């Protein structure tokens, strides 16, 4: 390679670098000053070249490095009134310092902090997501029916924008799964996914849960205050589940945050910015609620920008065999038993069922089939027995056989006992999970809102 050619390559590399680069010779005169440096300082190349570096770059130390020969990495230097991160590297030939390279690494320290913050945020998200279950992708949502394929296609399109999505559908149809997969396909996918079940949080706590509270906001408040879900979901997705259960007073506050992208902690004065993608879900008819005056019309329009309706399972029965196969395998693996099969007539029985509780109910039925039927082949009569026992309910219920045999007094005694058993069970699981209600609900195999209802019923405060 001839000398001129390699010098051309070197100049191109230096000029295309994102960092500002300046090179001085053994006299301290500038022999290279790249475009990034020009852009940042506003000094033209021709004005810089050949000049002593101290005349061109303020607060420079390149001439000192020329003398000392000691590199200075990651130093701070004020240029154009900004604190900049710089490296100063001496170049030696035959033990003599013949030149020094100066590099302006970032456009400013504030940018460095921003990058650091971003990394910390990502690490936090990773941690948060590994502590709980990993989020579900669109591909993991089971279903090949035309209805679910159309829904997935719309979800994919919606995800690419940052528009608010309102997911509607009956309970147990998979609204939360769709919300998670929208987040994973969205421009905010590297940010956090924060889920709030509006029905599960008592009204008086909802505001501080959503907006956080300031230091000393109320007696017993955590020192330093606590961030709310809007703050936690910054640069991520906030999933407002069961939005139809949001009290009217809180609806106005949510509307304000959506409009102004600013929130204020309870007891706080300084508002914070929140750049969050909102996905809301409900199994209620918000249109009817608007007409009845129980849901704000302006909030409804604000949320209903992209509407994603998840069809109930009875309208996409083609998906039932796939879902059954998936969950039968999963449950058998969980209990470490060999895979059980459904006979054809059992499948017909399951297909003819209306599934009012949708996929959540299907998952529960599979759990019960696997744990209660000892045989390898599950028959139609096993299935109808399970349905007849009205075991579909998520709560701990009295067995149908008990119900038929028992005189009324025994029945109410048993009911009391079972209530106590249920209370003990919930308390034990809450102790095991250190009071983490989401984990406790998962362990108990019930929905979080059901757990909150039960906490209220049994008067458990934890």
Ligand X SMILES: Nc1ncnc2c1ncn2[C@@H]1O[C@H](COP(=O)(O)OP(=O)(O)OP(=O)(O)O)[C@@H](O)[C@H]1O
Binding residue (CB under 6 A) for ligand X from 23, 57, 61, 176: 176
Q: Which long-range contacts (CB under 8 A, 24 or more apart) does 328-333 make?
A: 328/366, 328/369, 328/370, 331/366, 331/367, 331/370, 332/370
Q: Are 319 and 313 spatial neighbours (Cβ–Cβ below 8 Å)?
A: yes
Residue nearer to ligand X on the CB measure, 41 or 173: 173
Give the nearer residue to ligand X in terms of CB position, either 172 or 225: 172
Residues 267-296 that bind ligand X (CB under 6 A): 283
The Cα–Cα gap between 255 and 199 comes to: 18
- Interface with ligand X (CB under 6 A), residue from 32, 175, 277, 316: 175
Cβ proximity to ligand X, 214 vs 308, nearer residue: 308
Q: How far is the CB of 295 from ligand X (least distance, A)?
A: 17
Angle at 257 between CA 241 and CA 278, to 5 degrees: 35
Nearer to ligand X, 309 or 414 (CB): 309
- How far is Cα of residue 21 from the mean position of the Cα atoms in its chain? 40
Q: Which lies closer to ligand X via its Cβ, residue 281 or residue 429?
A: 281
CB of 153 to ligand X, least distance (A): 14
Q: Using the rule CB under 6 A, is 102 a contact of ligand X? A: no
Element (H, E) at 86: strand 82-93
Q: Tokens 């407002």, residue?
A: 240
Which residue, among 128, 150, 235, 140, has the nearest Cα to 180 in the 3D structure? 140
Q: Which of residues 193-212 bind ligand X (CB under 6 A)?
A: none
Nearer to ligand X among residue 77 and residue 282 (C-beta): 282
**143: contact with ligand X by CB under 6 A:** yes
Binding region for ligand X (CB under 6 A) out of 48-56, 87-95, 165-173, 271-279:
165-173
Query: Is 363 one of the binding residues for ligand X (CB under 6 A)?
Result: yes
Any contact of residue 367 with ligand X (CB under 6 A)?
no
Least distance from ligand X to the Cβ atom of residue 296, Å: 21
- With respect to ligand X, which residue has the nearer C-beta, 333 or 412? 333
Q: Which of residues 407-426 bind ligand X (CB under 6 A)?
A: none
Distances (CA, A) of 215 to 221, 224, 226: 7, 5, 8
* Shortest distance in whole angstroms from residue 17 CB to ligand X: 48
Cβ 429 to ligand X shortest distance, Å? 18
Does 359 engage in binding with ligand X (CB under 6 A)? Answer: yes
Q: Tell me if 438 contacts ligand X by CB under 6 A.
A: no
Please give the Cα distance from 39 to 247 (Å, whole number). Answer: 53
* 14 or 141: CB nearest ligand X: 141
- Which lies closer to ligand X via its Cβ, residue 101 or residue 441? 441
Tokens found for residue 304: 């209903």
Q: Which residue is nearest to ligand X (CB)?
A: 174
Is there a contact between 184 and 232 (Cβ–Cβ < 8 Å)?
Answer: no
Name which of 259, 310, 336, 340 is nearest 151 in CA terms: 310
CA-based torsion, 87, 88, 93, 94: positive or negative: negative
- Tell me: does residue 141 bind ligand X (CB under 6 A): yes
**Which residues on neighbouring strands pair with residue 284, listed in sequence order?**
none
- CB-count burial class (<10 Å; 0-12, 13-18, 19+) for 327: buried
For residues 194 and 232, is the Cβ–Cβ distance under 8 A? yes
Tokens 């051309």 — which residue?
A: 8
Binding segment (CB under 6 A) for ligand X, from list 36-44, 104-112, 174-182, 260-268: 174-182
In the list 125, 173, 237, 274, the residue contacting ligand X (rule: CB under 6 A) is 173
CB nearer to ligand X: give 86 or 279.
Answer: 279
Name which position in 172, 192, 212, 311 contacts ligand X (CB under 6 A).
172
Q: Which is nearer to ligand X, 250 or 323 (CB)?
A: 323
Count of residues interacting with ligand X (CB under 6 A):
17
User: For residues 42 and 51, is the Cβ–Cβ distance under 8 A?
Assistant: no
Rg (CA), the chain: 32
- C-alpha distances out from residue 14 to 21, 37, 77, Å: 7, 10, 21
- Footprint on residues 206-245 left by ligand X (CB under 6 A): 241
When binding is defined by CB under 6 A, the residue of 28, 90, 102, 169 that contacts ligand X is 169
CB of 210 to ligand X, least distance (A): 18
Q: How far is CA 112 from CA 74, 105, 187, 361, in A?
A: 11, 9, 22, 50
Do 415 and 402 touch, CB atoms closer than 8 A? no
Binding residues (CB under 6 A) for ligand X: these are 141-143, 169, 171-177, 241, 283, 359-360, 363, 447
């Amino acid at each position: 390679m001839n000398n001129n050619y390699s010098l051309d390559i070197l100049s191109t590399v230096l000029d295309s670098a994102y960092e500002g680069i300046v090179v001085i010779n053994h006299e301290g005169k500038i022999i290279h000053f790249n475009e990034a440096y020009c852009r940042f300082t506003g000094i033209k190349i021709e004005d810089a070249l050949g000049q002593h570096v101290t005349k061109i770059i303020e607060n420079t130390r390149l001439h000192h490095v020329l003398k000392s020969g000691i590199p200075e990495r990651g130093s701070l230097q004020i240029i154009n009134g900004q604190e900049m991160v710089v490296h100063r590297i001496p170049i030696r030939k035959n033990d003599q310092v013949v030149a020094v390279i100066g590099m302006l690494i970032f456009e400013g320290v504030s940018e460095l902090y921003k990058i650091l913050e971003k990394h910390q945020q990502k690490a936090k998200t990773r941690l948060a997501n590994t502590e709980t279950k990993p989020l579900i992708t669109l591909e993991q949502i089971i279903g090949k029916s035309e209805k679910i394929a159309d829904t997935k296609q719309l979800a994919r399109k919606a995800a690419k924008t940052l528009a608010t999505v309102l997911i509607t559908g009956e309970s147990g149809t998979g609204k939360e799964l769709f919300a998670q997969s929208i987040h994973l396909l969205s421009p905010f996918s590297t940010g956090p996914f924060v889920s709030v079940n509006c029905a599960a949080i008592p009204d008086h706590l909802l505001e501080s849960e959503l907006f956080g509270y300031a230091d000393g906001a109320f007696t017993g408040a955590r020192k330093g205050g606590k961030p709310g879900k809007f703050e936690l979901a910054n640069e991520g997705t906030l999933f407002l589940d069961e939005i139809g259960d949001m009290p009217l007073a809180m609806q106005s506050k949510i509307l304000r945050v959506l409009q102004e992208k600013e929130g204020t902690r309870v007891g706080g004065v300084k508002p914070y910015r929140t750049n969050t993608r909102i996905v809301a879900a409900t199994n209620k008819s918000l249109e009817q609620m608007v007409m009845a005056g129980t849901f704000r019309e302006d909030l409804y329009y604000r949320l209903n920008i992209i509407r994603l309706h998840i069809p109930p399972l009875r309208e996409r029965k083609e998906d039932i065999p796939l879902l059954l196969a998936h969950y039968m395998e999963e449950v058998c693996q969980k209990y470490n038993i060999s895979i059980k099969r459904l006979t054809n007539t059992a499948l017909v029985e399951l297909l003819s069922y209306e599934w009012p509780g949708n996929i959540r109910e299907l998952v529960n039925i599979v759990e019960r089939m696997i744990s209660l039927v000892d045989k390898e082949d599950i028959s139609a009569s096993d299935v109808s027995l399970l349905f007849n026992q009205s075991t579909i309910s998520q709560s701990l219920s009295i067995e149908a056989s008990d119900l038929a045999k028992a005189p009324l007094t025994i029945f109410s005694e048993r009911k009391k006992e079972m209530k106590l058993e249920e209370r003990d069970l919930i308390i034990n699981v809450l102790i095991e999970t250190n009071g983490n209600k989401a984990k406790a609900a998962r362990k108990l195999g019930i929905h979080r809102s059901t757990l909150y209802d039960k906490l209220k019923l049994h008067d458990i405060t934890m």
